[in-house]
Structure 1
Amino acid sequence: MERDDRPQSLLAESVRAHLLRFERPLTPTYGNAAGLRVLVAFLVVGVGLFFALRFVFAAVDARGAPAANLGFVVALLAAFVVAQQAFVGVPMSDVGLRRFSDWTRRERLYFLQVVPLAAVLFAAVFGDHLAGLRERHGLVGFLLLSIPTGLLWGAVQEFLYRGWLQTEMTRRFGGAAGLLAANIAFTFGPLHVDYFAGTAGVRWGGLLAVFGIGLFFGIIYRRSGNAWIPAVLHGLWPLNMT
């Protein structure tokens, strides 16, 4: 029987995309030396700089202020870009950050269909939360500080924990183990250390929710090899916009 090489319909390709049957799953190609640099960069930026910035902002009593939150996120993003280019030394595409022109058809279909739907759904479900942000920060503050902070913060988390950590864990241990290891670090590591503090004890419900959301993002990244998709979806999550 001859192979049918005719282009598939948009509907058929969209269904495959929503089933996460992407054409190029995560397959790390860099070597051991670069992998070690990825881990070092993750520890320096994702752990060391993360806690250093928290300490500095707390010391000057700026932690939690909208402008300070944006500065915190921008500093981490800048550190990621500098470390990736000057220290890790592999192309951005090797950690899932491909140019849009290099995306596959299913990646584009999934992104262009899911992102608008997620934005509308999140706005409806978390309407009270978003209204509270607008009231506290004002419309201008909401547009210029809260929204950029939320979008960038979600992206930074995905770049660090999916782009760097999951990629390297996948290279070392395989797809399933790499995904699980990165998501455990994402859930129980520095990002959510506050879940372990407080008079009420450990907030296991919150950690379980974080683990589930992170697992979903990790699966998308594993199946597509594209870190931009979970980065944008994570950024739209309204709880980022504090």
Structure 2
Amino acid sequence: MIQTIFSPEPHRGWLPWAWLSPIVCILLVGFSSVPLDFGLEWLGLVNSKGAPLSSFGFCLFLLLPFVAMGAAVWAWSRFVERRDLPTLGLTGAHPLRNHLAGLTVGIGMMALAIISIWLAGGYVSKDVLPAFSSPASLFWIAILLACFVFQSGVEEFIFRGWLLSTATRRWNLVAGFIASSTAFTFLHFSPHQPVREIVMAFTFGLFACAWAWRAGSIWGVMGWHAGWNWFAGVGFAVPITGFDLHLPALLVQLVPVGPIDLTGGPAGPESSLLTIGMLAVATLLLLLWPRQLAEKSRMPLEEE
């Protein structure tokens, strides 16, 4: 019997085997985005390591490659697997409400992580509300929110919408979690990366899978991912996944002074041991939360 996470509508085409699905994902993402990554470097908008050199470059970095990735995965699901969007997690009532709720939770969880590192001695504070002295900075902060909403939405569509549901249909939920989180970790890997950052990427993937599974859609986790990424970069002007937004902080400018295991080092607070622990606990809560309570809590928001 085929297991489904989102909509039980049948697929009418071919699904890759569970072990093959992350490989298909990596190929689709790589072949669709790499030419645009090289294009951004050729235009001088990113450096040789792929890091954006300005706020404008960061916006294009969040838009152009992800348009290609999302289109490639959608085309595969539509014409090879022959599946409709509800089977990919774009289902349920009140998508905007769920997305905004996820956005709020993402901002809150990132704020909790950064403030915890700060209180533990990982950061020292500098200027307060520095972005408000620059209307141009506030403009880019708002634009970047929209860009992060798009970028995070595409990532969740690919990894927690398509890949998680494909591997689950082919085998079971555990295979879906592993396939999705493994591909996500591989595509966020870089040479000489500390093991801590690899663990973080896999834990992040597991948490997002658990959220999508519990919610029965990806609308909420799309918002969570966007709020998490955006607020890390703009709230305290700390790196997000190793990238600098080149903007003053919206709240407090923080400077890392503590050990790398506490601050996350160049990768930013995402890779702090405190953050990894927080996401691991949150994942366990989602997985172990009694199903009856989970179903009852989502009934008003996500009726199917």
Please give the TM-score of this superposition, normalised by the length of structure 1. 0.67
- Pairing partner for 2:59 from 70, 79, 82: 70
The 8 Å contact of residues 41 and 88 in structure 1, kept in 2 or not, is answered as no
Unaligned runs of 5+ in 1: 1-23
State whether structure 2 residue 203 is matched by structure 1 residue 212: yes
State whether structure 2 residue 32 is matched by structure 1 residue 49: yes
The 8 Å contact of residues 160 and 212 in structure 2, kept in 1 or not, is answered as yes
Residues 32-65 of structure 1: per-residue CA shift (max 9 Å, x gap): 62535xx698455422122222222122221203
Residues 78-103 of structure 1: per-residue CA shift (max 9 Å, x gap): 335544665532321110012534x7
Q: Distance in 2 between matches of 1:118 and 1:181?
A: 24
Q: Specify whether residues 119 and 181 from structure 1 end up closer, same or farther in structure 2 by C-alpha distance, changes over 3 A only.
A: same
Q: Specify whether residues 216 and 47 from structure 1 end up closer, same or farther in structure 2 by C-alpha distance, changes over 3 A only.
A: same
Alignment root-mean-square deviation, CA: 3.6
The 8 Å contact of residues 28 and 94 in structure 1, kept in 2 or not, is answered as yes
Q: Distance in 2 between matches of 1:132 and 1:149?
A: 22
- Percent identity among equivalent residues? 19
Alpha-carbon shift at residue 120 of structure 1 (Å): 3.5
The 8 Å contact of residues 34 and 65 in structure 2, kept in 1 or not, is answered as no
Higher RCO (CA-CA < 8 Å; seq separation 6+) = 1
Aligned equivalent of 2:104: 116
The 8 Å contact of residues 70 and 148 in structure 1, kept in 2 or not, is answered as no
Q: Distance in 2 between matches of 1:57 and 1:132?
A: 31
State whether structure 2 residue 143 is matched by structure 1 residue 155: no
Aligned equivalent of 2:182: 184
Higher helix share: 1
- Pairing partner for 2:84 from 91, 105, 126: 91
The 8 Å contact of residues 183 and 214 in structure 1, kept in 2 or not, is answered as yes
Q: Specify whether residues 49 and 181 from structure 1 end up closer, same or farther in structure 2 by C-alpha distance, changes over 3 A only.
A: same
The 8 Å contact of residues 28 and 171 in structure 1, kept in 2 or not, is answered as no
Residues 175-213 of structure 1: per-residue CA shift (max 9 Å, x gap): 0111111101101x22x133x2xxxx3221112112112
Aligned equivalent of 1:235: 226
SS at match of 1:35: coil
State whether structure 2 residue 243 is matched by structure 1 residue 223: no
The 8 Å contact of residues 179 and 222 in structure 1, kept in 2 or not, is answered as no
Unaligned runs of 5+ in 2: 47-51, 116-124, 233-239, 246-304
The 8 Å contact of residues 92 and 217 in structure 2, kept in 1 or not, is answered as no
Q: Distance in 2 between matches of 1:56 and 1:133?
A: 33
The total of aligned residue pairs comes to 203
Alpha-carbon shift at residue 28 of structure 1 (Å): 5.6
Please give the TM-score of this superposition, normalised by the length of structure 2. 0.55
Residues 161-184 of structure 1: per-residue CA shift (max 9 Å, x gap): 111111111111210111111101
Q: Specify whether residues 30 and 53 from structure 1 end up closer, same or farther in structure 2 by C-alpha distance, changes over 3 A only.
A: farther
State whether structure 2 residue 199 is matched by structure 1 residue 203: no
